[in-house]
Amino acid sequence: MASNNQNKVIIKDVDTKSIMTKSTLPVGGYSVNPYVGCTHGCKYCYASFMKRFTGHTEPWGTFLDVKHWPEIKNPKKYAGQRVAIGSVTDGYNPQEEVFRATRKLLEQLRGSGAEILICTKSDLVLRDLDLIKELGQVTVSWSINTLDENFKNDMDNAVSIERRLAAMKTFYDAGIRTVCFVSPVFPGITDFEAIFERVKDQCDLFWLENLNLRGDYKKTIMNYITKQYPELLPLYHDIYDLHDRSYFEMLEKKAEEMAKKYDCPFVDNELPYGRVPQGHPVIVDYFYHEEIRGSENTSERRKTGRANKT
């Protein structure tokens, strides 16, 4: 075990039998996480629940396990499969510059014919642009839920919003499909229309997802709102204590109206797949986090209608 004293991050190596895990996420057949933990340390990160399965007791954002796995010798096994990299970590955390686990994974997926989705908050992915071009069917998604660098700095230790936007443009200009993932949408804080204005000419997909609050970080976020945005506290109480979904239903309608304004396709709770040629109108996709929607699945929600609130 090694300790990165400069950033107070505990780093260790772990062996795993396979790096590919069958995914239950809507984005794909396989979920791949080259690391355990994430040093971006996002205060709202749902992935912090991973601590209970790994034996880590350290605060989220202060530890990182570097995975080592047997080489993928038959990448064509994943032909036509969707492979999501970074569902509970960021494969391009700052330590990736040294350990290159994500780079190794991408190299092993050469010639696989897999449809790869990379989720990140970093511009370190620029390092692998040439390799990503070789892989063919790749989508790169950046999480951007604010244009306010001060709010961003309050929430995470990742690179600036401006650096994320610049990286997105570079990939878009290089012909790689790009996503602006507005997640999580903070009630009363996230201005997704302003974000859309910034990215509409450099992304193919515009995804929105509601802020989910559960577990230990619910208290963290509620304390932050109480201190920094006290005028929003009643709204947060309605949403996260009383489970009133009307605010997010209003935002969904607002997103649909925005899509009409810009002549963009709008998708309600259905993640679009397949290749999307550049030059088309940006696809706007609004989907609910399960914790916001409660126990309803998408089809049941459509059956019962939007007036049925808890």
Contact (CB, 8 A) for 123 and 159 = yes
Residue 229, pLDDT above cutoff 50:
yes
pLDDT at 94: 97
Residue, of 282 and 165, whose pLDDT is higher: 165
Name the domain count of the chain.
1
- Res 198 pLDDT > 70: yes
What is the average pLDDT across 269-294?
Answer: 55
- Note whether 285 and 270 are within 8 A (CB): yes
Q: What secondary structure letter does DSSP report for 44? A: T
Q: What is the pTM of this model?
A: 0.86
Could you give the count of Cα atoms lying within 13 Å of 254 in the half-sphere of its Cβ? 13
Here the tokens at position 77 are 């096994």
Q: Tell me what pLDDT residue 19 has.
A: 96
pLDDT at 285: 81
Mean pLDDT of the chain: 85
In a domain, 198, yes or no: no
Asked if pLDDT for residue 129 goes beyond 60, the answer is: yes
Residue-level pLDDT at 268: 67
Radius of gyration of the chain (CA): 19
Q: What is the mean pLDDT of the segment spanning 190-201?
A: 96
Domain assignment present for residue 172? The answer is: no
- On whether residue 27 sits in a domain, the answer given is yes
Share of the chain above pLDDT 90, in %: 71
DSSP at 126: G
- Rounded distance between C-alpha atoms, residue 76 and residue 80, angstroms: 9
In sequence order, which residues have a C-beta less than 8 Å from that of residue 191 and are 6 or more positions away? 146, 147
Place of tokens 């696809």: 283
Q: What share of the chain is helix, strand, coil (3-state, %, to 5)?
A: 35, 20, 40
Q: Is residue 89 part of a domain?
A: yes
Residue range 220-244: average pLDDT? 97
The fraction of the chain above a pLDDT of 70, given in percent, is: 82
Cis peptide before 94 (omega within 30 of 0): no
| Residues 130-176: tens digit of each pLDDT | 999 999 899 999 999 999 999 999 999 999 999 999 999 999 999 99
**Residue predicted with more confidence, 153 or 7:** 153
- Pair 140, 170: CB distance under 8 Å: no
CB atoms within 10 A of CB 279: 6
Name the residue with higher pLDDT: 23 or 236: 236
Residue 32 lies in a domain: yes
Task: Give the model confidence (pLDDT) of 48-87 as tens digits.
Answer: 666 666 777 788 899 999 999 999 999 999 999 999 999 8
- 3-state SS class at 73: coil
Give domain status of residue 287, yes or no.
no
pLDDT of residue 270 exceeding 70: no
Q: Is residue 95 in some structural domain?
A: yes
Its domain, for residue 87, covers 1-69+82-106+118-128
Q: Which structure tokens are listed for 273? A: 């797949």
CA 233 to CA 187: how far, in whole Å? Answer: 10
What are the tens digits of pLDDT across the range 75-85? 999 999 999 99
Interior angle at CA 163, CA 158 and CA 167, nearest 5: 110
**For position 55, what pLDDT does the model report?**
74
Structural domain contains residue 3: yes
* 274 has a pLDDT exceeding 70: no
